[in-house]
Amino acid sequence: MNFFNIIHKDKNSQARAGILHTEHGDIETPIFMPVGTQATVKSLDPVDLENINAQIILANTYHLHLRPGEDLIADYQGLHKFMNWSRPILTDSGGFQVFSLGQGNEGVQGRLVNIDDDGVTFTSHIDGSKHRFTPESAIDIQHKLGADIIMAFDECTPDNAEEKYVKEAMERTHAWAKRSLDAHNKNTAYHGYKQFLFGIIQGANYKELREESARAISKLDFDGIAIGGESVGYNMEATKEILDWVNPIIPENKPHYTMGVGFSPMDLFEVVERGVDMFDCVAPTRIARNGTLFNKKAGAENKYRLNINNAQYRNDKNPIDSDCKCSTCQNYSRAYIHHLFDAKELLGYKLATVHNLYFFLDLMRQIREAIKEDRFLELKKEWK
């Protein structure tokens, strides 16, 4: 069985519906993936995630390496048993977090991060201890964590870096991609089930470098292709432009993953329209904990959001969204959730997070159905 099967291509765009096959279950694409940085989607447990039909979640290699450590998790036969989650998991390589410690300094040779062609030495943000990631160690850590989908180690350059440095970093990323692949191929089933490895395209906002990176990564025998970089997801105009550059180059038969996309419902439509199958973002959960909740009737001008902290909701008997079928909207009023946030009660974070993630995941269900019926662009127009 292939890892990825395309079920239907939309006739009016590059959108496609497909299925990813893993030993922890199939994943219908396109899919939004909730982020569980430290082996938990903040405020939710695995039962909550199953109830909102999260098909796959993310975990973060950098954070889990520092605490509790990959060896401890391996002793539990990987993340699935450690956190009692039976469905698929994706881990990133830790590269984005490590290079973020460099605070955007060109060359990133600083107090917290030191890069050379072999790998990266960095200082823990938790206790100041020194650590080193190489392509080989990043793969070894991810093997021990046991995610179904893992990432090659890459260097994520800041948007404001000079082209000369971005090119050097991109070439390092390509060399590390080969080393990541070699390390992975020595043991693709560390815990007895197959893990799938994605390569990552870099090149910042330089068209020629992005195209060169797309060609280099596409030539390697990765299971999927990710599009990374500081601007991806954060700057949607740049994200769309980058996708338009690399799409003609990357193989159509492999899953495409934009890392960090999902700040608003419209962002999902933009990348799906350009043939992206997978994306993740901390925004829906992070803004939920601040009381910012999705509501379609709030309109594009408000990014389809309302702020439950506002006084107007103090005695509002309506659910967050009258069309939403999540357990929060089926059982609780805006007034109650407003009260929970006002009193800083922990239940407020959970109810808000359940709603925001359900809202995104149900929108993805609608998008998949629309693609299969060749009406994706019609659905997109409803959200303009």
Residue type, 62: Y
- What's this model's pTM, rounded to 2 decimal places? 0.96
pLDDT tens digits, residue range 73-132? Answer: 999 999 999 999 999 999 999 888 887 776 544 444 445 889 999 999 999 988 999 999
Least trusted range by pLDDT, from 12-21, 94-103, 140-149, 189-198? 94-103
Active site residue: 148, 267, 280, 321, which one?
A: 280
Annotated active-site residue 374? The verdict is no
Annotated active-site residue 321? The verdict is no
Query: How confident is the model over 353-366, as a mean pLDDT?
Result: 99
pLDDT tens digits, residue range 298-315? Answer: 999 999 999 999 999 999
Residue numbering of the annotated binding site for Zn(2+) = 324, 326, 329, 355
Residue 333: pLDDT over 90: yes
Query: How confident is the model over 197-217, as a mean pLDDT?
Result: 98
pLDDT at 106: 44
pLDDT at 107: 43
**Domains, the chain, ranges and CATH?**
4-281 (3.20.20.105), 292-367 (no CATH)
Query: How confident is the model over 226-232, as a mean pLDDT?
Result: 94
Q: For residue 265, what pLDDT band results from cuts at 50, 70 and 90?
A: very high
Percentage of the chain exceeding pLDDT 70: 97
Residue numbering of the annotated binding site for substrate = 92-96, 154, 202, 229
Active site residue: 92, 223, 267, 321, which one?
A: 92
Query: How confident is the model over 251-261, as a mean pLDDT?
Result: 98
3-state secondary structure the chain: CCCEEEEEECCCCCCEEEEEEECCEEEEECEEECECCCCCCCCCCHHHHHHCCCCCEEECHHHHHHCCCHHHHHHCCCHHHHHCCCCCEEECCCHHHHHHCCCCCCCCCCCCEEECCCCEEEECCCCCCEEEECHHHHHHHHHHHCCCEEECCCCCCCCCCCHHHHHHHHHHHHHHHHHHHHHHHCCCCCCCCCCEEEEEECCCCCHHHHHHHHHHHHHCCCCEEEECCCCCCCCHHHHHHHHHHHCCCCCCCCCEEECCCCCCHHHHHHHHHCCCCEEECCHHHHHHCCCEEECHHHCHHHCCEEECCCHHHCCCCCCCCCCCCCHHHHHCCHHHHHHHHHCCCHHHHHHHHHHHHHHHHHHHHHHHHHHHCCCHHHHHHCCC
- Give the span between the Cα atoms of 233 and 247, in whole angstroms: 16
